[in-house]
Structure 1
């Protein structure tokens, strides 16, 4: 060891006794030594760069397919005025969350003494619920778009729930197979997919206004685009605009994927937080351009939302473009959605592996195994895949029920990401130790804005679009039950049993001088246990 080992250069203090770092069976590189200082053994090959990490995040973000999948909420709840203004307002606060958030490991480190394991438990389960719903929701929307393309070619054909379900299952299986490949293959696949996503997004932004067959006028006047809120709910206009944020939040909820890949990323201290901010910043700007294109070209919102095609994006394209052009853009969207679903599957598998490594799940011994051939968590991939396929049974409960997957993903991800921010702002205060990437004096104000935004959106995203006598079981927003139910159960599980054996993030490196096990974070001085302004905690936040 040198006098100033890499983990100290990175402002990371070891969680092991006396700030020691264990000696491995091979020389540690800087990334591996930082990980060791935080109590974890290097499990994967570091074959992701800043670019490929950004590519996975951007693939999971999937701006074009995400927008296409959630057009019902953005346009249907608040019209063009809600779309363009709502995106601006929401993206500002979402960027705050992205810049200051953290996850499972951060929650455990920052929590007051004695509460680290509980904070990690709640953060971890919320994050996993958000992750495990991502791939099935994307693949459901992808299946709907594929079948909508069939309906465009053959107007007599109407997709059935059974067909949507089977196609969604088939896509999930394909994504499971791809996500089980070696890390380098996955990185290359996502690099190509993300490049295609970016290219397709620019093509759509250019082709739609250039190829629209609208006339008198060719584009909707600005005063109508910016000043018209078409309220599709039974709530006041302001609440309807807030409800439309689900489109923005779900679309932007993939930026945290860089966290889950940081153990496979070189120079993770810097590359991971940069990839997060880059993804949310670029995604927010390009997403707003896409909003403007749609807002200025859509002719009749009601026809888009209620079209028998069953997929608003396909209906919109057919409304404003010649059929062949509409099919071409829909095909681009389908290809992007496939890449997005695969990125979601990869990110979710790393989350499941990380939590299984700390024995969060029943059967964790199975799910935390790394395949000897691919050096990837294949068991975790298929664990998530099977659960995702079971979730797709909601298709048979109706459109509103399956749409709950989108709300759940939005809520679960942002709750998990915001818990460490809340702890840092209201409990840690000035004792927080900055890392190589930080927000400086803006850290606490940005964190406070993040917490306030998420607290406001939690009840909003659980509201149904109708009230009173119009509210029937098939129109009920089941998000509060489908997300709240599991979270209540795991909270009860904690107090009844899990608190006895779950001790938070574990040290799985056998120290050469002392044998240590259990939670090496709980009770540690916060200034010494945390590595950075939460996004740059240099261990793969392992969630």
Structure 2
């Protein structure tokens, strides 16, 4: 990384002239140059897009129900489940505020990968950033198959309700995804301000919106024992059957499948460019190929890599006999 040792002062309102190359840099481009990188991605995102990217990835609307069965299995009676969610989301929000502050100071794509480099300094920075890149990359490539598996379980549960005797594929709450805006920093205008705002606005709006939703769900529970002993791919189906009947349950599960599938698409869009930032520093094999952008400044090669690996992980996961083990491997991988 050809990062400069000392940041130069610059105006927040005026463009900067690069005399050596004979061109004018925007403030975002100049700040990125100070951090050792050249502007390559197309900057077009604003505050709403930054907020929406993180909010859609966190997706509490269907995300709460993806792990509903697991929470019930692990002693999630209404009071303890509610305490778990509010505590985890509250502590995660504290972490988020710290990360937002760092993202404002270091608005580069790749997020914590570059932050680790700066934290380690000249001696340990290269090693820490390399280790963080691989650790984070392992989580990134599990996000799409993990989220889609949760989405698929909604659809399978709906089919199991309608066709209870048919042969159908086998089947702690976490607060994650609040750093997505940081990964899009080099595509965001006024990134030093907008990225941090997008991170904390999306996280707090998801937290605030999820609490009344959770209260409504947990304290309307009917037969707890029957819910945890149900054989559906997602035990949330049994909850719905008890509350609104089989047809209503199928309708809600279908809507949740659509919502969760859209969240998967959102995750794929945001993570399709994740190999490119770490490839420009030679972290991945064939980095020269994966860092390449097309004429529209889109990292198509990176997107294909994420797509292929997502399919490979999904197929490999089905070799496990236990569907619970398969899904928990995914969840634990992308929520390190």
Q: Same fold (TM over 0.5)?
A: yes
Partner of 1:68: 65
Q: Distance in 1 between matches of 2:122 and 2:270?
A: 30
Partner of 1:399: 323
Partner of 1:132: 141
Alignment of 1:28-67 (within 5 A): 28-67=25-64
Partner of 1:254: 177
Alignment of 1:381-396 (within 5 A): 381-392=303-314, 393-396=316-319
Q: Distance in 2 between matches of 1:6 and 1:59?
A: 36
Partner of 1:340: 263
Partner of 2:90: 92
Q: Distance in 1 between matches of 2:232 and 2:177?
A: 28
Work out whether 1:107 is the aligned partner of 2:116: yes
Partner of 1:326: 249
SS in 2 for 1:27: strand
Q: Distance in 2 between matches of 1:22 and 1:258?
A: 32
**Unaligned stretches of 5+ residues in structure 2:** 1-6, 103-111
Q: Distance in 2 between matches of 1:115 and 1:23?
A: 32
Whether the aligned pair in 2 keeps the contact of 1:75 and 1:82 (CA below 8 Å) is no
Partner of 2:194: 271
* CA offset digits 1:178-227 (Å, max 9, x no partner): xxxxxxxxxxxxxxxxxxxxxxxxxxxxxxxxxxxxxxxxxxxxxxxxxx
Question: Post-superposition shift, 1:22?
Answer: 7.1
TM-score between the two structures when normalised by the length of structure 1: 0.54
Partner of 2:223: 300
Q: Distance in 2 between matches of 1:331 and 1:308?
A: 18
Question: Post-superposition shift, 1:25?
Answer: 5.9
Question: Post-superposition shift, 1:98?
Answer: 0.6
Q: Distance in 1 between matches of 2:19 and 2:180?
A: 29
Q: Distance in 2 between matches of 1:33 and 1:81?
A: 51
SS in 2 for 1:144: helix
Q: Distance in 1 between matches of 2:258 and 2:8?
A: 42
SS in 2 for 1:97: helix
Alignment of 1:195-234 (within 5 A): none
Work out whether 1:122 is the aligned partner of 2:131: yes
Question: Post-superposition shift, 1:21?
Answer: 6.1
Q: Distance in 2 between matches of 1:338 and 1:302?
A: 30
Whether the aligned pair in 1 keeps the contact of 2:18 and 2:25 (CA below 8 Å) is no
Question: Post-superposition shift, 1:24?
Answer: 4.6
SS in 1 for 2:318: helix
SS in 2 for 1:361: coil
Work out whether 1:290 is the aligned partner of 2:299: no
Of structures 1 and 2, the one with the larger relative CO (CA 8 A, separation 6+) is 1
Partner of 1:426: none
Whether the aligned pair in 1 keeps the contact of 2:156 and 2:169 (CA below 8 Å) is no
SS in 1 for 2:293: coil
Whether the aligned pair in 1 keeps the contact of 2:82 and 2:218 (CA below 8 Å) is yes
Partner of 2:105: none
Question: Post-superposition shift, 1:288?
Answer: 2.1
TM-score between the two structures when normalised by the length of structure 2: 0.86
CA RMSD of aligned residues (A): 2.3
SS in 2 for 1:111: helix
* CA offset digits 1:456-497 (Å, max 9, x no partner): xxxxxxxxxxxxxxxxxxxxxxxxxxxxxxxxxxxxxxxxxx
Whether the aligned pair in 2 keeps the contact of 1:131 and 1:344 (CA below 8 Å) is no
Q: Distance in 2 between matches of 1:160 and 1:367?
A: 35
Q: Distance in 1 between matches of 2:120 and 2:185?
A: 22
Specify whether residues 308 and 275 from structure 1 end up closer, same or farther in structure 2 by C-alpha distance, changes over 3 A only: same
Q: Distance in 1 between matches of 2:287 and 2:41?
A: 18
SS in 2 for 1:78: coil
Partner of 1:77: 74
Q: Distance in 1 between matches of 2:138 and 2:303?
A: 14
2:294 to 371, 374, 381: 371
Q: Distance in 2 between matches of 1:34 and 1:255?
A: 23
Question: Post-superposition shift, 1:350?
Answer: 2.4
Question: Post-superposition shift, 1:358?
Answer: 1.1
Partner of 1:17: none
Answer with 1 or 2: which has the greater Rg. Answer: 1
Question: Post-superposition shift, 1:6?
Answer: 9.8
Q: Distance in 2 between matches of 1:302 and 1:379?
A: 49
Q: Distance in 2 between matches of 1:107 and 1:95?
A: 20
Q: Which moved more, 1:113-122 or 1:23-32?
A: 23-32
